[in-house]
Structures are given as C-alpha cells and as structure tokens.
C-alpha cells in the first residue's frame, strides 16, 4: 500500500483508481462490473483500504462501537454517542494541511491516511493500478481519523497539495459527484460542510458510509421545477422538515453539477450552503443556513441531514425531536429569503440549455440568460432581491469577459 520507497525520486505510492474514459454521454453508464455479479471496484477498494486503516489502529476511536439510536418521533432523527468527534475541525486545520506536506513529489515520508488516489483514465473500463505515485490532476482520498461514521474520508484535489486552491470549483464538484456515481452504493454519501467565510473555500469534500437513509432522505418533497426534456433537472423543496432545503434530482451528472455548483458558489454574507450528494450522485440536497457571524456555519451537512452526534451520555439520552427541530429551524432561512433562493435555483436550472444527443457540453447561453433575467425580474414581485443581484453581477462580469475575449 503506502510505503516509502528506497530512492528519493519515487516518493509515496498508493493504489490509483482510474475512471473509465468519458465518451461524452450525458448519462454516464456505469460499466457495472456488477453485471457479472462482481463487487463494485471503487466501492471495494475504498472500503477495504479504510478497514485496514482502522484495523491498524490509526483511528482515534472505533466508530462502529459508538452507540446509535433513532429518536422517537416522525422525523426519525438519528443520534450517536461519541465524546471525541466534533463537526468542524478548524483547530486542526493547520495540522491538516501540514500533514499533506509529505505528499509533495519527492517526499520520502509515508502517510498512512492516504488510502488511494483517483484520476481520469483512458480505457473504457475503470481499473486500479496497485502502486502508483499520486496523480498531478486527480484526487487524493484521505482517511479521517475522527470519523463521524464508518468510512469517513476527505476528497482532496491533487492541485491543492502544491498550492491552495478553491475546493468548490466546478471541477472538484464534478469529481465528487462522479465518485458517488462510481461507487454505486446507496450507503455512500458525499457531503460538503460550509465553514466560516474565511475557511469555506478550503474545506474539502467528505464522504462516508451509512446503511440507513438519512432522515432528510426519507422526508417528503414537493416539486417546484420540472425540467424534464429541457434541462433534465428536477428541483424540489422539502416539506415539513425543520431546516428548509432544496433537492436537485437528475440522471444527468453534468447538468446536476453545473447547476448546483453555480448556486453554491454564490458568496453571500448572510447565507452558507451545505451539500449532501446521495443516491449514487443523482440527488443533491442543498441546505441553506443563516450564517452566524461569530461562529460561521452552525450545522454540518451530516447534521442538516438529520444525524447528530452527542458528546455526553446525558445529552444522548435526553435528545428529543423537538429540541433538534428547533435547533434546525433557528438557522433555517426565513420564508422570504427561501422563496428568493427557490426562484433563483429554478431560474438557473431553467437556463441550462442542453444540446441533446451528440454533444456532452452544457453551457449557459449568456444572451439568452440576460434577456430572460430581465423578464424574470419584471415577473418577480421583489425587484431587488440580493441573490438575483449577485447572480446578475456575476453573469454580466462573465459575459463581458467572454465578449472581450
């Protein structure tokens, strides 16, 4: 697995998983190795590497021994008793970056937490190279020694090792969603925690395994935008869930990624967005939260999903649906702000123009957009919604750049 090599040049080596080559199909076929009754390749290697990491004692605690229960009530919130986990490892943040130092090229040091690397491959089928150096343009899968659940990993882009870059760019988003698709395991979910405004650009995507549906996945939803035949995306909102959330569903990975990354890249001083990618990369939950200026984001994506961790037995035993619901509602967007966001999301989804059949690229038709923006502005009763202004500003900047290029 990971071992320091004898010569200085080679550095760290690990398993490298190659995605099958993209054929430009919008709907990526899962070359299911599962057609032959074989286990999924990426799923198997992720699980096995993590299990080894745990077996060797590198975890701070055995998360499978932490008590779990479902809280009484209709929402079926899940809670875990664990006195060692905390949702934002901001204090550890510097250490986290430091630990990557050994992954720079030509490093001799061994890094046990690096489970495997993922990169785009050339062949039709995915494959694994058992002992390769980390790719220059790919992803490093790093185990989280303070897991919230079994298999908790960080997805760190290779580029980040050498210089700090924005995690939330579309490419990273696409990789994260694609991984969810490739693993093809309903228990595997990728998520993104929006930290404080300072750190949020540097928070990595994370993922872990949990066999049951999260409470937010079982909650009923109401469709607000049906993009079938046009943009291939359906936008819904959660009904009766204490934290107002939006759900984006599509079998078209590109479409999904484009829309959601657009929305979550909006920098707004008052709202933070956490994300949960589920259903093998076909369903993304967007959790907008009112940003607390002092502490930044209050709830992690996992908590937004309805899974809470308690540090003491007393808190664990006295956890109630009412307390959790009120905690979630307190950081949920106000109705009007949520309506704005909904409109915005529908607009963005609607503006996707898909060139069907042969082409895979999706783009925003800028001219088309600007004209429809004006129409929609008129249609909207609130003339100057801050979100729409932001989007408008961004779009006009983009279009002016395109025009000048």
| Closest by CA position to 299, among listed 376, 153, 221, 192 | 192
Q: How far is the CB of 48 from another protein (least distance, A)?
A: 4
Looking at beta carbons only, is 213 or 281 nearer to another protein? 213
CA 166 to chain centre: 14
Looking at beta carbons only, is 11 or 20 nearer to another protein? 20
Q: How far is the CB of 95 from another protein (least distance, A)?
A: 24
Q: How far is the CB of 311 from another protein (least distance, A)?
A: 16
Binding site for another protein (CB under 8 A): 15, 33-34, 36-39, 41, 43-45, 47-52, 55-57, 62, 64-70, 78, 125-130, 149-151, 185, 187, 209-212
Looking at beta carbons only, is 208 or 352 nearer to another protein? 208
| Closest by CA position to 171, among listed 142, 139, 203 | 139
Residue 363 in tokens: 């783009």
Looking at beta carbons only, is 218 or 292 nearer to another protein? 218
Residue 278 in tokens: 């589920």
Pair 105, 11: CB distance under 8 Å: yes
| Angle between helix 335-350 and 366-379 (nearest 10) | 150
Pair 255, 352: CB distance under 8 Å: yes
| Closest by CA position to 257, among listed 142, 344, 169 | 169
Q: How far is the CB of 92 from another protein (least distance, A)?
A: 24
Helix ranges restricted to H, 272-385:
301-304, 313-317, 321-331, 335-350, 366-379
Q: How far is the CB of 380 from another protein (least distance, A)?
A: 44
Q: How far is the CB of 16 from another protein (least distance, A)?
A: 9
Looking at beta carbons only, is 53 or 111 nearer to another protein? 53
Looking at beta carbons only, is 46 or 156 nearer to another protein? 46
Looking at beta carbons only, is 16 or 161 nearer to another protein? 16
Looking at beta carbons only, is 187 or 224 nearer to another protein? 187
Q: From residue 169, how far is each of 153, 180, 204, 261 by CA, in Å?
A: 19, 17, 11, 7
Q: How far is the CB of 314 from another protein (least distance, A)?
A: 8
Looking at beta carbons only, is 149 or 217 nearer to another protein? 149
Residue 376 in tokens: 């929609």
Three-state DSSP at 138 gives strand
Dihedral angle over CA of 273, 279, 281, 286, nearest 10: -10
Q: How many residues does the chain have?
A: 405
| Alpha-carbon radius of gyration of the chain | 21
Q: How far is the CB of 161 from another protein (least distance, A)?
A: 24
> Got the DSSP string for 247-266?
EEE-S-HHHHHHHHHHHHT-
Looking at beta carbons only, is 67 or 295 nearer to another protein? 67
Q: Tokens 């040049």 label which residue? A: 9
Dist CA 401 CA 26 (whole Å): 28
Residue 262 in tokens: 């657009």
Q: How far is the CB of 103 from another protein (least distance, A)?
A: 22
Q: How far is the CB of 368 from another protein (least distance, A)?
A: 44
Query: With the C-alpha atoms ordered 393, 296, 80, 149, is the resulting torsion angle positive or negative?
Result: positive
């Amino acid at each position: 697995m990971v071992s320091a090599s004898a010569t200085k040049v080679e550095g760290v080596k690990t398993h490298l998983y190659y995605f099958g080559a993209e054929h430009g199909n919008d709907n990526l076929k899962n070359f299911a190795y599962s057609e032959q009754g074989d286990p999924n390749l990426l799923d198997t290697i992720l699980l096995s590497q993590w299990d080894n990491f745990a077996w060797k004692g590198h975890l701070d605690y055995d998360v499978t021994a932490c008590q779990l229960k479902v809280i009484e009530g209709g929402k079926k919130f899940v809670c875990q008793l664990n006195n060692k986990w905390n949702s934002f490892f901001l204090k550890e943040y510097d250490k986290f970056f430091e630990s990557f130092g050994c992954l720079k090229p030509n490093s001799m040091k061994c890094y046990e937490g690096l489970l495997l690397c993922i990169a785009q491959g050339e062949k039709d089928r995915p494959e694994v190279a058992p002992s390769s150096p980390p790719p220059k343009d790919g992803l490093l899968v790093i185990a989280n020694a303070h897991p919230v659940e079994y298999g908790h990993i960080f997805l760190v882009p290779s580029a980040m090792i050498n210089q700090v870059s924005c995690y939330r760019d579309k490419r990273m988003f696409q990789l994260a969603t694609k991984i969810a698709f490739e693993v093809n395991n309903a228990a595997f979910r990728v998520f993104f925690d929006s930290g404080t405004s300072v750190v949020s650009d540097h928070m990595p995507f994370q993922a872990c395994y949990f066999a049951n549906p999260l409470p937010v996945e079982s909650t009923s939803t109401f469709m607000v935008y049906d993009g079938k035949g046009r943009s291939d995306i359906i936008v819904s909102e959660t009904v009766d869930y204490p934290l107002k959330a939006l759900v984006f569903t599509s079998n078209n990975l590109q479409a999904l990624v484009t829309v959601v990354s657009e929305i979550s890249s909006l920098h707004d001083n008052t709202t933070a967005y956490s994300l949960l990618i589920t259903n093998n990369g076909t369903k993304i939950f967007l959790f907008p939260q009112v940003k607390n200026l002092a502490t930044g984001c209050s709830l992690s994506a996992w908590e937004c999903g309805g899974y809470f961790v308690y540090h003491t037995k007393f808190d664990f035993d006295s956890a109630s649906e009412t307390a959790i619901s009120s905690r979630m509602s307190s950081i949920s967007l106000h109705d009007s702000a949520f309506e704005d966001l909904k409109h915005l999301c529908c607009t963005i989804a609607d503006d996707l123009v898909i060139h069907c059949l042969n082409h895979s690229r999706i783009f925003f038709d800028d001219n088309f957009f600007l004209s429809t923006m004006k129409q929609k502005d008129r249609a909207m009763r609130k003339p100057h919604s801050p979100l729409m202004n932001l989007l408008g500003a961004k779009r006009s900047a983009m279009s002016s750049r395109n025009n000048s290029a």
